[in-house]
Amino acid sequence: MIVFIMILSMGASIFAETTDLNSGEGNPIETQPEEGKQEEQGSEKQISQDKEAVVEVPREGAEQESQVQGQEEQKSDNDNHEESDRIDPLLEGSSIQSTVEKLEYKSDTHVFQLDNIKSNNDLTLAVLAWMYKEDTYLAVISHEEIEGIIYQNDRVNIKEDTIKRAVNSDCNLVVNDFAYGPITNFAEPKNLNNHSRWSVIKIEGKPLTFPFKLTIEVESGGPHNINDKEVHVDKLLQVYHQYDKESPILDRKQSGVLDDEFRYKVQPQYDRDGMVYQLIDIKVIYNGEEQSDIGKDNLVDGYLIGQVSKENNGEQTNISVKIIFIYEKADKGSLTLINRLEEPEMGDIDRKFDIFIYGPKGKVYTVSLAHEESETLKDLPYGEYKIKEIVPMNFENISSSEIKVEIDNNTPYKQIEIKNQRRNSGWFYHEDLIEKTIEVGS
């Protein structure tokens, strides 16, 4: 019986294989031999075993087919995602660029969005610009690794930390804890592909100034490059201070954006690192064009107030203002004199003491001060000053009969204290004398 079942099972298997081979010739059940039908009706156990045998072969084939299909699907899936999963060959072993999971930066200026700064094929885009400390940063979306940057006609020295490139297109850009997000927030799908990434360029020691010229070079060059684009930012206000013909210094506190009416209100800064400067000129530039009719004479209560109109802007779609306050070292200072009496009597409080100040070029200044009074001489030329006092009778000077001070760039503001006290040892009292104060100079 066992042998018969095995033979029958083998026959069923062969039948199943034959049926598969002839499946195109009709229904296999209808072409089954008659004796096969009678044998199947013999025993439920045999029928059960026969069914298991008949089903077993197609299941093995299905499993094999499923494995093959899975391999093909995996291969297809790999092919479909190969572009996004493959690491750029430029990134392997690169010495000037590192890839990061998240791009996080600081800024001490506004983060400005740049409009329509693209390569000819739209695959390279300059999107954002800001400053931190003394460096300018540009956020760029590019299909390929950036190989060169020219900013304001100067080629940027590319070093290991000059450019950071995202590892994939989903990488977020964060500046001052604000998430600007992935590249899809700033570019249309038609301008992106599986290789598009954020790249952030650090331009060391260069201030961010608008408008500026920008060139960005990538590996394949040609239509992928951004070539000599002039970059403007709408409503941008930038204030600079230039001291003694040095490079202009960006004033981050006063810089920012114009109001909705394109107005600004800014002021010069006369002190720098303890040095005193005087304002000699103001340059006001609207979209790269200097306004010759605006200068230091336009200051109102210490502020420069202005407004840009569309007429001034011409055909430009954006409006930006750049203001440069220009200074030179001040050649003037001040001298403050204070008079004090030691243990004054009641009648001494209102008594005046005459003090003479001898300055450069024979200039003489006089002041008359009572107890605890002070006076400041302003706009004094730099140089040496000698301070002498005409001491009233019955008083003596206990500070010095002559005081010398130097007013210069290092110490433009001086303060001197004159001290006197009552002596009461003379033959006459001060009230017995007739005094006359003579002022020399002006």
What whole-number distance in Å separates Cα of residue 58 and Cα of residue 54? 8
Does 44 score more than 90 pLDDT?
Answer: no
Last residue of a domain, one of 17, 47, 82: 82
Q: Say if 88 falls within a structural domain.
A: no
Is 313 found in the same domain as 353? no
pLDDT given for residue 391 in this prediction: 84
Is 159 found in the same domain as 201? yes
pLDDT bucket at 427, cuts 50 / 70 / 90: low
DSSP state, 186? T
Is 142 found in the same domain as 176? yes
Does 424 score more than 80 pLDDT?
Answer: no
What whole-number distance in Å separates Cα of residue 244 and Cα of residue 257? 27
Per-residue pLDDT reduced to its tens digit, 8-43: 344 444 444 433 433 333 333 333 444 444 444 444
Q: Which whole number is the average pLDDT over 295-310? A: 92
Q: Say if 197 falls within a structural domain.
A: yes
Of the ranges 6-20, 89-103, 218-232, which is most confident? 218-232
Is 40 found in the same domain as 121? no
Q: Say if 195 falls within a structural domain.
A: yes
Q: Say if 439 falls within a structural domain.
A: no
Average pLDDT, the chain: 78
What whole-number distance in Å separates Cα of residue 233 and Cα of residue 186? 16
Phi then psi dihedrals of residue 137, to 5 deg: -125, 140
Q: Say if 421 falls within a structural domain.
A: yes
Is 141 found in the same domain as 175? yes
Is 74 found in the same domain as 20? yes
Is 292 found in the same domain as 349? no
Is 266 found in the same domain as 278? yes
Q: What is the CATH number of the domain that holds 349?
A: 2.60.40.10
Spell out a b/e string for 214-227, using b for 16 or more CB atoms within 10 Å of the CB, else e.
bbbbbeeeeebbbe
Last residue of a domain, one of 165, 196, 231: 231
pLDDT given for residue 80 in this prediction: 42
Q: Specify whether the CB–CB gap between 369 and 418 falls below 8 A.
A: yes
Per-residue pLDDT reduced to its tens digit, 163-183: 999 999 999 999 999 999 999
Is 324 found in the same domain as 366? no
pLDDT given for residue 26 in this prediction: 37
Q: Say if 401 falls within a structural domain.
A: yes
Residue in the block written with tokens 């940027």 = 156
What whole-number distance in Å separates Cα of residue 81 and Cα of residue 115? 31
Domain count, the chain: 4
Is 172 found in the same domain as 288? no
The string of DSSP letters for 340-354 reads: EEES--GGGTT--EE
pLDDT bucket at 313, cuts 50 / 70 / 90: low
Per residue, the 3-state secondary structure of 269-315, as one string, reads CCEECCEEEEEEEEEEEECCEECCCCCHHHEECCEEEEECCHHHHCC
Q: Say if 438 falls within a structural domain.
A: no
Is 266 found in the same domain as 218? no
> What CA–CA distances, in Å, run from 199 to 136, 209, 397?
14, 20, 73
DSSP state, 361? G
Q: Say if 290 falls within a structural domain.
A: yes
CA-closest candidate to residue 396, choices 414, 374, 372, 420? 420
Of the ranges 111-120, 137-146, 203-212, 304-313, which is most confident? 137-146
Give the domain range for residue 77: 2-82
What whole-number distance in Å separates Cα of residue 125 and Cα of residue 143? 9
Last residue of a domain, one of 18, 49, 82: 82
Is 354 found in the same domain as 246? no
Q: Which whole number is the average pLDDT over 403-428? A: 82
Q: Specify whether the CB–CB gap between 227 and 215 falls below 8 A.
A: yes
> What CA–CA distances, in Å, run from 203 to 99, 135, 150, 228?
18, 6, 10, 17
Of residues 67 and 248, the one with the higher pLDDT is 248
